[in-house]
Amino acid sequence: MPMPLSLHSDRLFPADPDTRAIAGRLCAGLPGLTLLSCDNLSGNGAQLELLMIANWL
């Protein structure tokens, strides 16, 4: 007996991982992401990366 198909909920999203993540957030009704950048602060890029990883993925 053949196994029934299991369709993934993201199957209609774009194949590109970044675009897929944005589409998933929009579909889930999550709010937009506001980024503030202070270029003169040391370690600002590392802090932003940590925030993006913690809140985006």
- pTM metric for this prediction: 0.45
Separation between Cα atoms, residue 4 and residue 7, nearest integer Å: 10
User: Is 31 contained in some domain?
Assistant: no
User: Is 9 contained in some domain?
Assistant: no
Residues belonging to the chain:
57
Is the pLDDT assigned to residue 55 strictly greater than 80?
Answer: no
User: Is 55 contained in some domain?
Assistant: yes
Instruction: State the chain's mean pLDDT as an integer.
Output: 79
pLDDT digits (tens, 9 = 90+) for 24-48: 888 888 877 766 666 666 777 787 7
User: Is 56 contained in some domain?
Assistant: yes
| Domain ranges, residue 22 | 15-26+43-57
Domain count, the chain: 1
Could you tell me the two tokens for 46?
Answer: 């590392």
Who has greater pLDDT, 23 or 40? 23
